[in-house]
Amino acid sequence: MGTINFGGVFENVITREEFSLNKAKTILKDETIAVIGYGVQGPGQALNLRDNGFNVIIGQRKGSESWNKALNDGWEENKTLFDLETACDKATIVMNLLSDAGQIQVWENMKKYLTPGKALYFSHGFGIAFEDKTGIIPPADIDVFLVAPKGSGASLRSLFLKGHGLNSSYAVYQDATGRAQDRALALGIAIGSGYLFETTFKKEAYSDLTGERGVLMGAIAGIFEAQYNVLRERGHSPSEAFNETVEELTQSLMPLVAENGMDWMYGNCSTTAQRGALDWKNKFRAATEPVLNELYDSVASGREAEIVIEANSKPDYRLKLEKELAEIRASELWQTGMQVRQLRPTQE
């Protein structure tokens, strides 16, 4: 475990150099790893495990869209692809990668297969952090831990295929066997993590819910809409408003930030852009910090978890979700975006 200085704060991180894939294989050599759920995280983690040579099987509801996707990905029925109950029974490590709502629905049935010495793995702290609302309380005689890639399963897979890794957090909630941390770190390396940093189930859930509702998705979508609307109301064309709001950010500036940081991106922009950004960033920070504190309080109180559980439990949830997504898709902003993407030049 190495100590890294993150802006003056020292953290312990685990890299591939100190925790090798061969070490992970030694730790997990006698394990049968069942990936339960083949939706968002399942395919990426399962395929990376398979390609890395681990004994992995899939548990999924037979005949579902995800079952058929697993078949198309080369998993074989009754060999490496089973119904949820059979996969849980066969496994020594159950990787619960169902949606948060799905985890609640299958928990009572899954729990009976979590016999002493087995391990229960998550990629999100939600179910355990909000156990009073989810009812997910693991048996005391199993290991419980998480590895949470900081991105989608699709990103985890695409980076793996390029020989890269996606950073992940890890946490041990319950160590019944004395091997929980080794199992967690081995799986973190096995699924293709770039490096692993330690957290807790509660901190992972709180930061994840805040991030998704904040900068990663909710805040950025709201700021996009606000700036686009202001430019359109002030007489700018849809193309100009979109390019100055979304296209330049995603295609030009964010890759520079990802490459070397915000200061480096500023240093590679015009002096006019630099001055304006430096003058206005503190105003935006001051305007948004109260909203983000309100958001974090809502997460920590359990209110956001209640909203998610209540919404997902309604039989018409998918229909309402599609209606909301269709409204975004049909907006002038994102219709313009569709046209702009089509105009991007392709390499000959």
- Pick the closest to residue 313 from 146, 128, 133 (CA basis): 133
Which has the closest alpha carbon to 49: 78, 102, 91, 77?
91
CA-nearest of 61, 192, 34, 189 to 121 is: 34
Under a CB-based contact definition with an 8 Å cutoff, are residues 22 and 54 in contact?
no
Do the Cβ atoms of 131 and 137 come closer than 8 Å?
A: yes
Catalytic residue among 124, 157, 213, 232: 124
Give how far the C-alpha of residue 108 lies from the chain's centroid of Cα atoms, to the nearest Å.
Answer: 25
124 an active-site residue? Answer: yes
What is the set of active-site residues? 124
